[in-house]
Structure 1
Amino acid sequence: MMESVVIQPARAADKVSLFKVITTKDEIVIGVSEADLAQMEGQNAGGIAKMLVAKGSMSAWQYAVRKSSSGDLEQAPLHKIGLIASDSLRVEPYATPLKVLPIDETKE
């Protein structure tokens, strides 16, 4: 019992939630770590939208589909991007059947 309590925070830090950000021009998928999401009001797409409106901008990791070394498709962080609040912006949860890789801040 005590062992699972010690191990779980490490796993939780690696968990990433995906969101689709839609503008009149295009749409992208971003990943937000569980730790970053916990700091936002609502801890969901609405929280991201509220933060963008309040702060005017935010940084996030853009995610894209790629093939793993075994040939399986997976959602992986592509690069860090900046989002700017806009009237035509919509943020919604993004569900994927693919494995979602954690964010590796050392690859900025």
Structure 2
Amino acid sequence: MSNTTRNRTLAYLLAAGTVIFASAPSFAQDPTSLFEVVTVKDQIVIALSAKDIETVGGNDVTAIGQAIKAKGELTVWQYAVRKGTDGQLEQAPLKRVSLLGADSLRVEPYSASIRVVPAPEE
């Protein structure tokens, strides 16, 4: 491989890497953390809106668990899979639900393999 070809290939790879890197922050600017709430009878996927995060005091399982224990209930967004306007599957807010404290309630992080739509602001 000649130096010119090698330089062009390197320039192409760097340019491609820059495009990928430049587009990554826009995805990370508004991350929506999903959680799975598991009970004896059911399990649902939830997320917190910005207002919910302020109320709870954080966006992690510990903050959610402590808020449910302290208040006895917590209102959050239930998420479900739907088709987006572009035809692709996405995790999106379905409805507001109230979680009631129970000994058999478990909250754990949930990782979506599809696009996640942020929770609406109230």
TM-score (ref. length: structure 1)? 0.77
RMSD: 2.3
Q: 1:30 to 1:93 in 2, by over 3 A?
A: same
| More displaced 10-residue stretch of structure 1: 39-48 or 61-70 | 39-48
Q: Comparing 86-95 with 40-49, which one deviates more in the overlay?
A: 40-49
Contact 1:65 1:75 in 2 (8 A): yes
Consecutive aligned runs of 4 or more in structure 1 exceeding 6 Å deviation: none
Matched residue of 1:16: which SS? coil
**Counterpart residue type for residue 22 of structure 1:** V
Percent same amino acid at aligned positions? 46
Q: Secondary structure at the match of 1:69?
A: coil
Does 2:88 correspond to 1:69? no
Q: Which residue of 2 aligns with 1:83?
A: 99
Alpha-carbon offset, residue 67 of structure 1: 0.6
Q: State the match for 2:44 in structure 1.
A: 28
Between Structure 1 and Structure 2, the one with more strand by share is: 1
Q: Which is further off, 95-104 or 33-42?
A: 33-42
Candidates 50, 56, 60, aligned match of 1:44: 60
In the TM superposition, residue 38 of structure 1 has moved relative to its aligned partner by 5.2
Highest Rg: 1 or 2?
2
How far apart are 1:92 and its partner, in Å?
Answer: 0.3
| Aligned-partner residue type, residue 52 of structure 1 | I
- Paired with 1:104 and 1:33, the residues of 2 have a C-alpha distance of 6
**Residues 1:16 and 1:42: Cα distance change in structure 2 (over 3 Å):** closer
Q: As a proportion of its length, which structure holds more helix?
A: 2
The alpha carbon displacement at 1:33 in A equals 3.0
Q: What is the rounded CA distance, in whole Å, between the counterparts of 2:32 and 2:58 in structure 1? A: 16
Q: Do the aligned residues in 1 keep the contact of 2:76 with 2:97 (CA within 8 Å)?
A: yes
